[in-house]
Chains A and B, each alone.
Chain A
Amino acid sequence: MEQTSPSPRSVAAQTIAVLMPRAEAVAIPLGALCVGFVVFSLFLLLVGKSPVEFFALVWKAGFSSAFSWQNTLSRVAPLILAALCVALPARLGLVVIGGEGAIVLGGLAAAVMGTAVVGMPSALGMVLMMLAGMVLGGLWIGAIGALRIKRGVNETISSLLMAYIAIALLNHFVEGPFRDPASLNKPSTTPLVEGLRVGDMSFVSAHWGVLVGVLACIFCWILIERTTVGFAARVAGDNVRAAQVQGLPVSRLVIGFTALGGAFAGLAGYFEVAAVHGSANASLIAGYGYSGILVAFLARHNPLAIIPVAILLGGFEASSGLIQRRMDLPDATILVFEGLVFIIILLSEALYGRLRIFTASFWEAR
């Protein structure tokens, strides 16, 4: 551009030219979400149900009132933390899908620590419980990163299989060494004393795990986008060879990021025990680790995007019951819907850089 005094029109075009490439990252997932809505609506019409009613119920159950928000937010904490367990390794190009294992073991460790810290000041006890959950979760997923880097074991398969081992360990310890003898027909660890329970936040009826999850997302975003460690991780994620040639500590990055992800999943387990169940038992195996995969992919592994996506997903799942009851659809309906959106989001990955409307040159030419 060699104009001496740019016309207002071209200033606008310039601004748009700067903004549009950034808008791409928001517009494509949103567009994919809308396509998902449309395809799912066609599916509903095929089975003779009303899409309008479906989305009205999702809105009513998930977002329309204070109660709906409480219902939605109560699911958000484990979703956010489980999603971080997928998103952090993903920035290094690793697909870890076994966060469920870290959640159940984190919950177990927290519950066992909870019985050991009785008598200590409750703030100290809570911190120790939290640490126990995070350390065990971190070791569990960190081990998957270590196996990947030291032995070339595929992290997707190993994390999934280790989730089964984790669940078996949980069952073993809950039914054996750490079983509260009073828990006759539902083997559980000894219930936490009242002082170690996590309550609801004062301003909204959802437990403190939600706020901790949001803070964890902000922390991860700063770590990835604003620190040299995060920069090194992104380089290694884009091209491992290049990162190694540059002398970046790829092994330590992989183990560190997987361990950090695992620590957050373990933290999710801690909150499930301290805020919801009050002890560790088989109810910890609730599938949050798997829903977290969906959240992380929808958020394209961006920690800040995880927050709204987790809320959206939480709202979808909050509406599952109302849809069963009012529309007489099976409970799998929401899963079909989520699966459909998931696939369309994955397909939309191919669109990045291909839509001219989002390129600077498209707008500069105007």
Chain B
Amino acid sequence: MTILKPLNRRSFMGTSAAALGTAALGGIASPAMAAGDLNVGFIYVGPKDDFGYNQSHAEGAAAVKAMAGVTVLEEENVPESQDVQNTMESMINFDNASLLFPTSFGYFNPHILEIAPKHEAVRFQHCGGLWSEGNPTNAGSYFGYIGMGQYLNGVAAGHASKSKKIGFVAAKPIPQVLNNINSFLLGARSVDPSITCQVIFTGEWSLAVKEAEATNALADQGCDVITCHVDGPKVVCETAVARGAFVCGYHADQTALAGDMYLTGAEWNWANVYTDMVSKTLAGEPIDNFVRGGLADGFIKMSPLGTGVSDAGRAQFEATKAEIVAGGFAAIKGPLNDNKGNVIAAAGGSFIETDVALESMDYLVEGVLGSTS
């Protein structure tokens, strides 16, 4: 329009209708999906830009999006309730999804177990490693040995710590989390056996206020390297940096949050895992129902080492990493007691990363200050 007309009701209605029409035409056609495409759905329990668990999966989804012949559907903030069943059904019914990645641990039982038998042509790939014999065969689960990543975090932390006290902000005292805490401390102790690790449990996967309180409490107690296992490490990272502590990351790369204070981080490498699974599906090959992997298999990776890591730290980090990649590495090895004095492993005994006994871990090792209950 070259001339500004005075705004009256009629002209307002006219422009609004035109705007509505344009927007409508622009939008409605967009969801069209090329016929024959593989439609892959990703479901996240939290926001996909949480710098953590959900972001790690969303990065995997982004890699899948770049593949030819694939349309990616994403939905974030889906609770582990009837909602996720509805979301899966909706992706199948409205968007013809035939491969689903419901990524939260709590999506499996009962939700995937409920929906999978109703849609036998759809493949359900669940993150968390819960699938067992007798579960629907069109469902499968995968997980990674990320404890090894926390062990390497510990090596970097052991070299960076001056106070010989490191800290861990943890969500819940469940086996996966306990394994990370123990691995972090044992990695640090491989550098200096006098190091202790204070752990604080927040009780929730995502509870920003408590995560900040816990991080501050750790800094107050003199911890100068802090890591965490919560869904989104953003609050822990930023609080730790504000208190002058180094940060070891978890789930995804948090360099952008911690800058020079970022030592390294244990990251999921879902881009590798997901593109592999999608390629297999496109090629008509089956995916195993139960898949696990570690550093060597490209299931996890480490963030690039930060400037806070010394040359000696760098050397030990790389050497340990090579040992882990070679296979058969054990973080939990004897002689080792838990922090209540019970024997975990006698001299010569060890649990390598793939040992199923680690999956029912219920202890904190000697040197971890804190309690599982």
Contact = CB atoms under 8 A, between A and B. Distances in A.
B14 interface: no
B203 A171 contact: yes
Nearest to B110: A278
Interface in A57-71: 60-61, 67, 70-71
A60 B106 contact: no
B28 interface: yes
A187 B172 contact: yes
A350 interface: no
Contacts of A286: 79-81, 83
A186 B174 CA distance: 8
Contacts of A287: 79
A52 B23 contact: yes
Majority secondary structure of chain B interface residues (helix, strand, loop or mixed): helix
A52 B81 contact: no
Interface string B220-240: 000000000000000000000
B93 interface: yes
A150 interface: no
Given A50-B23, A52-B20, A71 B89 contact: yes
A49 interface: yes
A276 B110 contact: yes
A interface: dominant SS: helix
Given A71-B86, A185-B105, A281-B106, A53 B27 contact: yes
B74 A49 contact: no
Contacts of B106: 186, 281-283
Nearest to B23: A50
Interface of B: 16, 19-20, 23-28, 30-31, 73-83, 85-87, 89-91, 93-95, 105-106, 109-110, 128, 172-176, 203-204, 359-360, 373
The 9 closest A-B pairs by CB, nearest first: A50-B27, A52-B24, A50-B23, A53-B27, A283-B80, A286-B81, A326-B31, A331-B77, A50-B24
Interface of A: 41, 44-45, 48-53, 56, 60-61, 67, 70-71, 74-75, 168, 171, 175-176, 184-187, 272, 276-278, 281-284, 286-287, 317-318, 321-322, 324-327, 330-332
21 contacts: A41-B20, A44-B23, A45-B16, A52-B24, A52-B28, A60-B94, A74-B82, A74-B85, A75-B82, A175-B172, A184-B174, A184-B360, A185-B174, A186-B106, A276-B81, A282-B106, A287-B79, A318-B86, A321-B90, A325-B74, A325-B95
